[in-house]
């Protein structure tokens, strides 16, 4: 089932400031991005903002973009996040395949074997990117008995 711009999100809308994507494979930490930019690209290519080490993930899987709306000069800016999947990427938000749709903090984005939790990172002091080495991830999965 393909979702569109009216995709329902389960939690409050995204706010300005830092956000994070925390990725897991079978419950084991695999990657983590804390960022404060208005746009990121996620995929398996080294040039992506968040690199997903997964053979099921295309080089460029999806773009996550914050859109700003300015109602008038006296009111503050409102914003929301849009997820745009690139061609051939099978990207799911809260279980629904999404080609282009809204995402909000608390949403779960599934891509290949990875589950990515999108959330606020208000208390993170700096931007960061982290990926678990593949051999470490495999070892943790074997130890957890998940394979």
pLDDT in tens, 98-144: 999 999 999 999 999 899 999 998 877 666 667 666 656 566 666 76
Residue at token pair 């709306």: 69
pLDDT of amino acid 136:
60
Specify the pairing of strand 96-98 against strand 2-3. Answer: parallel
Record the pTM. 0.76
Task: Report CA 9 to chain centroid distance, whole Å.
Answer: 14
What SS3 class is residue 141?
Answer: helix
CB atoms within 10 A of CB 122: 10
Residues 61 and 44 sit within 8 Å (Cβ to Cβ) = yes
């Amino acid at each position: 089932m393909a979702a569109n711009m009216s995709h329902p999100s389960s939690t409050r809308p995204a706010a300005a400031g830092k956000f994070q994507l925390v990725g897991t494979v079978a419950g084991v930490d695999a990657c983590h991005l804390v960022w404060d930019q208005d746009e990121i690209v996620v995929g398996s290519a080294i040039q992506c903002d968040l690199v997903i080490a997964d053979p099921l993930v295309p080089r460029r899987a999806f773009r996550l973009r914050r859109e700003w709306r300015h109602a008038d000069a006296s009111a503050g800016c409102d914003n929301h996040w849009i997820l745009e999947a690139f061609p051939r990427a099978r990207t799911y938000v809260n279980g629904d395949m999404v080609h282009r749709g809204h995402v909000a903090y608390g949403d779960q984005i599934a891509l290949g074997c990875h589950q990515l939790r999108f959330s606020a990172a208000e208390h993170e002091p700096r931007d960061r990117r982290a990926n678990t080495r593949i051999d470490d991830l495999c070892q943790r999965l074997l130890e957890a008995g998940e394979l």
